[in-house]
């Protein structure tokens, strides 16, 4: 696959999936930090770990990976059940 995207399933935490969803929604790391009430540094670390786990090189490749593996739902395309932090 182009862009170095992982060909195998990856185990991600609920928080990592939540962050991927916010990245796919177009939020910056600072905006994600504010929404989740965590530091930007924590978001930076989560994104770095997610990129490593998914073997993706950047945010665009990460969103492509997330769409391929059904981890995000964008505009009613590729919709799936995402973890709800309130559950």
Domain boundaries 14-69, corresponding CATH code: 1.10.10.10
Give the three-class secondary structure for 46: helix
Residue 79, pLDDT > 70, answer no
Percent of the chain residues topping a pLDDT of 90: 64
pTM here is 0.77
Average pLDDT of the residues in 45-61: 97
Residue 53, pLDDT > 60, answer yes
Residue 37, pLDDT > 50, answer yes
Q: What is the pLDDT of residue 1?
A: 42
Q: Could you state, in order of their start, the residue ranges of all structural domains in the chain?
A: 14-69
Cβ-count burial 42-64 (b if 16+ within 10 Å, e if not): ebeebbeebbeebbbeebebbbb
């Amino acid at each position: 696959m182009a862009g170095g995207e992982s060909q195998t399933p990856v185990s991600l935490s609920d928080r990592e999936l939540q962050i991927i969803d916010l990245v796919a929604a177009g939020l910056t790391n600072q905006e994600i930090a504010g929404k989740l009430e965590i530091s930007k540094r924590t978001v930076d670390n989560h994104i770095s770990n997610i990129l490593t786990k998914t073997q993706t090189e950047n945010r665009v490749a990460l969103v492509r990976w997330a769409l391929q593996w059904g981890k995000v739902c964008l505009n009613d395309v590729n919709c799936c059940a995402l973890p709800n932090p309130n559950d």
